[in-house]
Amino acid sequence: MLRTFSVRDGHLHVEEDAPTGSLPLGALWLDLQSPSAQEESAVERLVGLDIPTRAEAAAIGESARLYVEDGALVMTAAVVAGVSEGKRPVAADVTFVLTSSLLVTVRDADPLPFRAFVQKCRREPAVREMPETVFLALVETIIDRAAALLDGAQVDLERVSAEAFADADRKGRRRAIDPRVLVKRLGRINALVARLRESLLGLGRMLAFFRQNAAAALPESALRRLASMEGDVRALAEFDAQLSNELSFVLEALFGLTNAEQNRIIRVFTIASVLFLPPTLVGTVYGMNFEAMPELKWVFGYPMALGLMVASAVLPYWLFRRSGWL
């Protein structure tokens, strides 16, 4: 699919389908989403450049992510997608081709920032002054989305932490939790944080490349926006690293709590087996079928055996309590 964004009479116009002969008047941005071969060829004829598709960029490797071709900047960065649809987050590569008169984006996924950016273009006329400002505003929308996702990941992590480390009630009982559920939730948070880390790294490199090659032609307002975006990327990268450390701590603490709970249960069963072992021994002795057992003919033989069983259980319990094992 190809969408053409152009500005005419101060208004933003969005057109579907690929132009066949020439670009619309005032065209600023061509957005290619999972383009067909015909759409790609049409845009390459109009722009006069080879537009790298996702497969072509993957075949070239890292060297194809940031370079200059015939005066145009070709930049590729990962953008987190799939979160708003409830799917597993993925880092989808988006290629930005920036010429002196046009911005071209090539992508296979449909991240939320691209859908939200159209409304931003309509609300803010300064965004659509030139291709460079469109590029900066689009990347800014991607950064804002990354910040929102990191905030959401922090809230989810705090909820998991609160459930894992919940205090006992007044009776000293802890609310039963399923560690498997919490570990799965931590895994989903970690997947999102990892994808965001990859995206922020690529965005930071792309902005540095853009500053090096295109900052001279930018107005002062765009330079201030660029500097602010670079600071935001650095701050979000630090925030992402902090969340990763907190994730590791909560996961290790959760495993520690699970092991402690298992050890407590094993200790209870071990003490119970030790307490019942002496009474079992007494009962086994008096369950023998020997004729020469004087206690069999005693009137108080049965009460004596029961008392001996009770005493043999109480004595180890008292010793355990005295030693602080219970």
Question: Tell me: the pLDDT tens digits for 67-90?
Answer: 888 888 888 888 888 776 566 788
In the sheet with 90-98, reading across from the earlier edge strand, the strands are 11-16, 2-8, 27-33, 103-107, 90-98, 72-81, 66-69
**Mean pLDDT score, 111-129:** 74
Residue 13, by phi and psi: left (phi above 0), alpha (psi -120 to 50) or beta?
beta
Q: Tell me which residue of 24, 33, 32 sits closest to 6, measured CA to CA.
A: 24
Task: For residues 49-65, give the mean pLDDT.
Answer: 64
Mean pLDDT of 236-253: 87
Render pLDDT for 270-281 as a digit per residue (tens, 0 to 9): 777 777 777 887
Provide the whole-model pTM.
0.75
- Residue 53 near residue 26, CB atoms below 8 Å: no
Give ∠ CA 16-17-20 in degrees, rounded to 5: 130
User: Do residues 137 and 121 touch, judged by C-beta distance below 8 A?
Assistant: yes
pLDDT of residue 9: 66
Cα-only R_g, the chain: 35
Integer distance in angstroms from the first to the last C-alpha of the chain? 70
Instruction: Please say if the pLDDT value at position 235 is more than 90.
Output: yes
Please compute the mean of the pLDDT values over residues 7-30 and round it to a whole number.
Answer: 69
Residue of 42, 29, 172, 40 lying closest to 101 (CA atoms): 29
Residue 66: the pLDDT is 83
Predicted confidence at residue 279, as pLDDT, reads 80
Structure tokens, 36: 């067909």
Query: Rounded mean pLDDT of 302-319?
Result: 80
**Cα–Cα distance for residue pair 280/284, rounded to 1 Å:** 6
Average confidence score pLDDT of the chain = 78
- Per the model's pLDDT, the better-predicted residue between 260 and 279 turns out to be 279
What is the mean predicted confidence (pLDDT) over 22-38?
75
pLDDT at 106 over 80: yes
Q: Give residue for tokens 């990354």.
A: 146
* C-alpha dihedral, 57 to 62 to 63 to 66, nearest 10°: 80
Residue 94: name the closest of 191, 237, 81, 134 by CA: 81
Owner of token pair 């029961």: 306
